[in-house]
Structure 1
Amino acid sequence: MKTIQVAAGIIIHDDKILITRRAPKENFAGRWEFPGGKIEPNEMPEDCLVREIKEELNIDVLVDRFCAEITYDYGNLIVHLMTYYCRIIGGEIHISVHDAYKWADVKDLLKYDFLPADVPIIKKVMEEYAGKN
């Protein structure tokens, strides 16, 4: 079975997190996810994240710190997902591969129809956020 390495960003601003929705032509169309993408051979996850977010959202991010790592079996594909907290340092959001984006309240994240691999990440983010407030 094929395994892909993916990096995703938990981009927080004013107690909200940037989430993106997969476009109709994509696998899992209509599902929400954290922005990011496939890690290229010999690429560091943090570098992948900066590159993918620039390509997909037209913004520059600074990767702050590691959040969590998940391996999820979708049946026909295994995704090894590494997530990092990030912040926007430049640019204005313009989506190119997603059909929508939203700044969601941390406490409301589980109300969105996320990809299954993202759910454990959401729970960790919510726990960490609750511990700071």
Structure 2
Amino acid sequence: MLQVTCAIIEHQGKVLICQRSAAMLLPLKWEFPGGKIEQGESMKACLAREIMEELNVTIQVEKGLSMVEHHYPDFSLCLHPFICTLISGDIQALEHAQTLWVDQTALLDYDWAEADLPIVREYLKLRP
């Protein structure tokens, strides 16, 4: 079971979403960015590191949301989401096909990776 973090990055009233590249598992699905927790690494440290590696920005990791356990045909994961704030840097899609800043009201308009959908729904309940 993979232990993975993801960031719901907020900035100027928008939320960052990322489209997986065609070469990744779950190609071209939308997700909140993040990655695998390394041995001995805290979830918050993992998230800050992964966001710097994938997007070249610094974030402030804030509130955790409910963990999601999801089983895909080829792998299973425990996804640990956190609401975050952009601190510095300009987003660069170093691993994703594209990144978008979207209004929270448009979040459900995208073709999300299945594990991310419960996170989108919980986030929308918290941010009316």
Do the two structures share a fold, i.e. TM-score over 0.5? yes
SS at match of 1:68: coil
Q: CA deviation at 1:68?
A: 2.1
Provide the TM-score with structure 2 as the length reference. Answer: 0.96
Unmatched tracts of structure 1, length 5 or more: none
Q: Provide the C-alpha distance between the structure 2 equivalents of 1:93 and 1:103, rounded to a whole number of angstroms.
A: 10
Q: Provide the C-alpha distance between the structure 2 equivalents of 1:75 and 1:107, rounded to a whole number of angstroms.
A: 30
Provide the TM-score with structure 1 as the length reference. Answer: 0.93
Q: Provide the C-alpha distance between the structure 2 equivalents of 1:82 and 1:61, rounded to a whole number of angstroms.
A: 16
Partner of residue 33, structure 1: 31
Partner of residue 5, structure 1: 3
Percent identity, please.
36
More strand by share: 1
Q: Provide the C-alpha distance between the structure 2 equivalents of 1:71 and 1:119, rounded to a whole number of angstroms.
A: 12
Structure 1 outlier segments of 4+, above 6 Å:
none
Unmatched tracts of structure 2, length 5 or more: none
Partner of residue 51, structure 1: 49
Q: Provide the C-alpha distance between the structure 2 equivalents of 1:12 and 1:67, rounded to a whole number of angstroms.
A: 14
CA RMSD of aligned residues (A): 0.8
**What's the CA shift string for 1:75-103, capped at 9, x where partnerless?**
22111000001111111111111010001
Q: CA deviation at 1:15?
A: 2.4
